[in-house]
Amino acid sequence: MGTCPAIPALLAAVLAGPTLCASDNVSDSIYLGFVARTLCEGKFVSGRTVASVWAAEGCAFTSACETHARFSVPGIENTPGSKPGSVNVAASAGMGSVTASEAAASATATFVSDKFGCQLRVAGQQVPPVVPRYVDDGHAAADPADWPMALNGSAGAFPGVDYARLDAAVRPQFEDAQTIADARTRAIVVIHRGKLVLEHYSSAERLTASTRLLSWSLAKSLTNAMLGMRVRDGALALSQLASAPGWGVAEVQGRGITVEHLMRMTSGIEWSEAWDDSSQTPQMLFATRDSAAFVGSFPQAQAPGMHWQYTSGGYQLLQHMLRQSFGGDDAAYWSYPHTRLAKAIGVRSFAFQADGAGTLMGSSHFMATARDFARFGQLYLQDGVWEGKRLLPQGWVRFSTTPTPAFPQYGAGWWLDQFPGVTPPDTYTGKGFLGQYIVVVPSRSLVIVRLGDTSLGSPADTPDNWSRLFGSIIAAFPAAAAPAPAPWLNFSR
């Protein structure tokens, strides 16, 4: 891949449009926040070296973006550029932080804890961050044993699985030089009938089964699960009117946005998901202390329910609603995905990061191992039941995978029919930026997790390529009797 072009290209992976280049006037605060958060996540949550994070994410894009800025990072050779800056990485026992500075501005991401990853203090933030903390509920966790194995050649191998075909579908992602360069696949895990039938990790990046990787928008599917559990608790309803910091009663009622509208991305709030410095999403993620207040500051562009618009901001409002459902008990809110979900399904790696106001980043910043992402997908395959215990309301998975009238390719936190004509029609998908996927196929009793760093505009980042990859994996498995859909229940309470 050659010499890494340094951090401007890493920023371009987030802010780039079709030109694959960040503009010269990109907001310093977005730029600095992205650098600090990404390096903090990579070093202190994933356990990678700064150099490896720099090389992998930093080399996702090249050419014109190289001239935007240059950073001095300890132990890494840098080329002087037009806008010099610096990155300071500080680490001590159990703690660490990354500060990115340019001229008089700086942003700092601090490792909070194993369960909450890194928290960003954005450039110009004067108010101290509200730091999340975990309070254990005292209940025993489910058996955290690794997946039962059904690997090719093992005693538990499935006779009906075409392991040679499966291997042929996946191996080029990790062994073919051109595919590695184009796709930048980090991990693929395949679960069939509750057993691990295949897993591969990027040896080039020295990743393993214990490496936690960033969800990007897979976090929206996790927010869906949190909402389902709170609905089951009786603390939330789909018909409940949404609120945001700063909205009074009149505005809440006047907007008329419900929890379901937010889940289905039909809130009608004015929003641009484009990854450039003038759009809301990068500002919300990397330059805003209070994400929910930021989203709530935008007016209505459409009446709720009438128009579909992909909106990461809506999922931050959903996290605000979840937080409110605990009646001011923030520790209970922060601990909830760990005590009620992770412990229940035997997950050990969940790290759910928070913004500076303490609201979990339910749109995009959740980290876990590929195996634990697969456990989450398996929960949905099993209709929200784990080892005989129901975690999600009966019918919740069906609700979540029912097409949204304004945009039938999307449900409520899950994508539908992403690979038409290639995968079975019952397939549904969690999908995140740069090629993060959880693919659930009930008719094959199958969960596929693919994590990576696939550059926008890369030859691998096309609908045909994704369809070919997942279609070829699914084709190795025999059709199974899909479980009967759960009865539709009215969640509006």
One-letter identity of residue 87: V
One-letter identity of residue 428: Y
pLDDT, one tens digit per residue, over 323-375 is: 999 999 999 999 999 999 999 999 999 999 999 999 999 999 999 999 999 99
Q: What is the predicted pLDDT for the residue at 90?
A: 81
The answer to pTM > 0.85 is yes
For residue 320, report the phi and psi dihedrals to the nearest 5 degrees.
-60, -40
Residues facing 448 on adjacent strands: 190, 439
Q: What is the predicted pLDDT for the residue at 51?
A: 80
- Residue 392 structure tokens: 């999600």
For residue 107, report the phi and psi dihedrals to the nearest 5 degrees.
-135, 145
Burial of 38 (0-12, 13-18, 19+ CB in 10 A): buried
The answer on pLDDT for 15 being more than 70 is: no
pLDDT, one tens digit per residue, over 118-145 is: 999 998 889 999 999 999 999 888 876 6
Q: What is the predicted pLDDT for the residue at 53?
A: 85
Asked if 100 and 71 touch (Cβ cutoff 8 Å), the reply is yes
Q: How confident is the model at residue 4 (pLDDT cuts 50, 70, 90)?
A: very low
Q: What is the predicted pLDDT for the residue at 349?
A: 96
One-letter identity of residue 150: A
Which residue, 41, 113, 94, 107, is CA-closest to 331? 113
Q: Which residue, chain included where needed, has tokens 């890493």?
A: 10
pLDDT, one tens digit per residue, over 160-190 is: 999 999 999 999 999 999 999 999 999 999 9
Which residue, 445, 444, 425, 437, is CA-closest to 463? 437
- Residue 476 structure tokens: 């190795």
Q: What is the predicted pLDDT for the residue at 100?
A: 84
As a whole number of angstroms, the distance between CA 310 and CA 246 comes to 23
As a whole number of angstroms, the distance between CA 488 and CA 493 comes to 13
The answer on pLDDT for 472 being more than 60 is: yes
Q: What is the predicted pLDDT for the residue at 143?
A: 75
The answer on pLDDT for 386 being more than 80 is: yes
Q: What is the predicted pLDDT for the residue at 76?
A: 54
Residue ranges and CATH numbers for the domains of the chain are: 7-121 (no CATH), 213-474 (3.40.710.10)
Asked if 412 and 260 touch (Cβ cutoff 8 Å), the reply is yes
* Mean pLDDT calculated for residue range 433-446: 96
Q: What is the predicted pLDDT for the residue at 59?
A: 37
Q: What is the predicted pLDDT for the residue at 218?
A: 98
| pLDDT over 90, % of the chain | 71
Which residue, 60, 45, 46, 53, is CA-closest to 9? 60
Asked if 316 and 382 touch (Cβ cutoff 8 Å), the reply is no
Q: What is the predicted pLDDT for the residue at 101?
A: 84
The answer on pLDDT for 147 being more than 60 is: yes
Q: How confident is the model at residue 27 (pLDDT cuts 50, 70, 90)?
A: low
Q: What is the predicted pLDDT for the residue at 485?
A: 57
Distance of CA 214 to the CA centre of its chain: 6
Q: What is the predicted pLDDT for the residue at 300?
A: 98
- Characterize 151-178 residue by residue with b for buried, 16 or more Cβ atoms within 10 angstroms of its Cβ, and e for exposed: eeeeeeebeebebeebeebbebbbeeee
Q: Name the residue with higher pLDDT: 197 or 417.
A: 197
Residues facing 135 on adjacent strands: none
Residues facing 360 on adjacent strands: 354
* Mean pLDDT calculated for residue range 407-416: 98
For residue 429, the SS3 value is: strand
* Mean pLDDT calculated for residue range 459-482: 92
Which residue, 390, 395, 380, 381, is CA-closest to 488? 395
Q: What is the predicted pLDDT for the residue at 288?
A: 94
pLDDT, one tens digit per residue, over 232-287 is: 999 999 999 999 999 999 999 999 999 999 999 999 999 999 776 668 998 999 99
- Specify the pairing of strand 70-72 against strand 195-201: unpaired
pLDDT, one tens digit per residue, over 216-237 is: 999 999 999 999 999 999 999 9
Q: What is the predicted pLDDT for the residue at 97?
A: 94
Q: Name the residue with higher pLDDT: 404 or 490.
A: 404
Which residue, 265, 319, 273, 332, is CA-closest to 293? 319
Half-sphere exposure of 207 (CA within 13 A, CB side): 29
As a whole number of angstroms, the distance between CA 165 and CA 156 comes to 18
pLDDT, one tens digit per residue, over 67-120 is: 334 555 555 555 444 345 667 888 776 789 999 887 778 899 999 999 999 999
Q: What is the predicted pLDDT for the residue at 493?
A: 40
The answer on pLDDT for 159 being more than 70 is: yes
Q: How confident is the model at residue 158 (pLDDT cuts 50, 70, 90)?
A: very high
Q: Who contacts 60 (Cβ-Cβ below 8 Å, separation ≥6)?
A: 9, 10, 12, 13, 184, 434, 453, 455
The answer on pLDDT for 416 being more than 60 is: yes
Q: How confident is the model at residue 9 (pLDDT cuts 50, 70, 90)?
A: very low
- Residue 161 structure tokens: 């699985």
* Mean pLDDT calculated for residue range 466-472: 97
| Cβ neighbours of 140 (radius 10 Å) | 7
Q: What is the predicted pLDDT for the residue at 73?
A: 56
Q: What is the predicted pLDDT for the residue at 124?
A: 85
Residues facing 258 on adjacent strands: 241
Positive or negative, the CA dihedral 406, 408, 411, 415 is negative
For residue 413, the SS3 value is: coil
| pLDDT over 70, % of the chain | 84
Alpha helices, H only, 360-462: 370-381, 396-400
For residue 11, report the phi and psi dihedrals to the nearest 5 degrees.
-65, -40
Sequence length of the chain is: 493
Q: Who contacts 133 (Cβ-Cβ below 8 Å, separation ≥6)?
A: 113, 331, 334
As a whole number of angstroms, the distance between CA 396 and CA 143 comes to 25
Which residue, 461, 483, 330, 387, is CA-closest to 143? 387
Indicate the average pLDDT of the chain. Answer: 87
